[in-house]
């Protein structure tokens, strides 16, 4: 890449192009300032911010006014679990070394992608369940439990994962 010029048309450091694109942007902003094209992004951000604050406030009130006997027990990190962190970390790193050495990077990329997809599926399902619970002001009853993940599953979470 050339350093110091001359720069081709459209290059961000070409002074003629910078001047022309700046003039075009100022002209377009001046023309669409009070039209829908200029106001729509502002309305969009305002609506999203208002919706997030409203749902967060409603969810916070719902959580803090929930009776204690219906709450799930909080998960706390125990001292014995903390002792296992270095051991598990070493095993994971050694296992990853073996996988990279014998199976290659394509398998690792596919496994990481699959893990991210599953985490996103669970996240969307949980978010949808909490959104419906906030709107209905009461949680759904669990259909079954996944003991490995310590997760109660209900109909809304299953639909959110699909």
Q: Average model confidence (pLDDT) for the chain? A: 86
Does the pTM exceed 0.75? no
- Say if residue 134 is exposed, middle or buried (CB neighbours under 10 Å; 0-12, 13-18, 19+): buried
What tens digit of pLDDT does each residue of 71-108 get?
Answer: 777 778 888 889 999 999 999 999 989 988 999 888 88
Instruction: Tell me the pLDDT band of 117, cut-offs 50, 70 and 90.
Output: very high
Task: Give the relative orientation of helices 85-102 and 105-136 as an angle to the nearest 10 degrees.
Answer: 130
Calpha distance 135→130 (Å, rounded): 9
Answer whether 140's CB lies under 8 Å from 70's CB.
no
Mean pLDDT of 111-124: 90
Check residue 4 and give left, alpha or beta (phi > 0: left; psi -120 to 50: alpha): left
Judged by DSSP in three states, 110 sits in helix
Instruction: Tell me the pLDDT band of 113, cut-offs 50, 70 and 90.
Output: very high
């Amino acid at each position: 890449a050339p350093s110091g010029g001359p720069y081709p048309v459209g290059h961000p450091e070409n002074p003629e192009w910078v001047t022309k694109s700046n003039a075009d942007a100022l002209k377009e902003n001046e023309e669409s300032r009070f039209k829908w094209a200029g106001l729509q992004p502002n309305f969009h951000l305002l609506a999203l911010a208002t919706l997030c604050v409203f749902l967060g406030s409603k969810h916070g009130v719902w959580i803090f006014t929930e009776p204690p006997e219906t709450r799930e027990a909080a998960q706390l990190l125990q001292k014995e679990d903390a002792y296992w962190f270095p051991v598990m970390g070493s095993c994971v790193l050694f296992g990853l070394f073996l996988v990279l050495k014998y199976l290659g990077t394509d398998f690792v990329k596919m496994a990481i992608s699959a893990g991210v997809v599953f985490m996103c599926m669970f996240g969307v399902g949980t978010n949808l369940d909490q959104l419906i619970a906030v709107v209905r002001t009461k949680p759904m009853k669990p259909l079954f439990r996944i003991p490995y993940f310590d997760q109660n599953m209900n109909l809304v979470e299953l639909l959110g994962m699909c």
